[in-house]
């Protein structure tokens, strides 16, 4: 995939990818069903292609994490599967979490990429080096973004961001070589 020069320039500096969950790592739908004890259980669907992209980032030293307004055990499980460094849930006000993570990582905001889809995400996108909106994001959020994906949340939007970061930092060709992809 070809990316705009400005997005590649910003992505070249990224050491940490942070994301919202619902509408970004998922399609935004929440599924509730009764558990064995009769208590309702919430779950959600995640993309396998997004997942391998996140694993490739981890293999190449780019850390990842989520900041979500909702609390879900499914999010914790997915974060473990794709080797995320940070899982913050139940936080609609996300600026203090970003500041906490920046302090823990010892990096500048310019070295962060944040991917969102709704108004609560736009404030973080305004503060980081690369703010990305997935294709299904609110129009207001797309206007705040440095880059808008072609893929939607839960269906390749995050994978596209992973490929952007890997290309910008010179890792994409090695991924293609690893899987014997002809060019």
Q: What pLDDT, on the 0 to 100 scale, is given for residue 42?
A: 87
Q: What is the pLDDT of residues 161-183, one digit of tens each?
A: 999 999 999 999 999 999 999 99
d(CA 179, CA 125): 33
- Phi/psi for 139 (5° steps) reads -60, -40
Per-domain residue ranges of the chain: 5-178
Q: Angle CA(62)–CA(3)–CA(143) in degrees, nearest 5?
A: 90
| pTM exceeds cut of 0.75 | yes
d(CA 157, CA 164): 11
The series of mean pLDDT values per 10 residues for the chain, 183 residues long, is 96 98 96 92 94 97 96 95 97 96 98 97 97 98 98 97 98 97 94
Of 157, 146, 152, give the one whose Cα is nearest residue 54: 157
The single residue listed with the structure tokens 């939007």 is: 157
Tokens in use for 163?
A: 């490929």
| 5-178 CATH | 3.40.50.1000
DSSP structure string for 43-63: E----HHHHHHHHHHHHTT-E
């Amino acid at each position: 995939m070809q990316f705009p020069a400005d997005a590649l320039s910003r992505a070249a500096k990224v050491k940490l990818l942070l994301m919202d969950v619902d509408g970004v790592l998922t399609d935004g739908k929440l599924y509730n069903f009764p558990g064995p004890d009769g208590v309702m259980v919430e779950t959600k669907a995640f993309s396998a292609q997004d997942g391998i992209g996140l694993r490739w980032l981890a293999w190449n030293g780019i850390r990842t994490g989520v900041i979500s307004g909702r609390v879900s055990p499914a999010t914790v499980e997915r974060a473990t599967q794709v080797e995320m460094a940070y899982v913050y849930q139940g936080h609609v006000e996300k600026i203090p979490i970003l500041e906490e993570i920046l302090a823990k990582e010892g990096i500048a905001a310019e070295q962060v990429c944040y991917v969102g889809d709704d108004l609560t995400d736009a404030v973080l996108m305004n503060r980081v080096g690369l703010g990305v909106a997935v294709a299904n994001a609110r129009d207001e959020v797309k206007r705040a973004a440095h880059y808008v994906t072609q893929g939607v949340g839960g269906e390749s939007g995050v994978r596209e961001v992973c490929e952007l970061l890997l290309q910008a930092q010179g890792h994409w060709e090695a991924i293609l070589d690893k899987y014997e992809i002809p060019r």
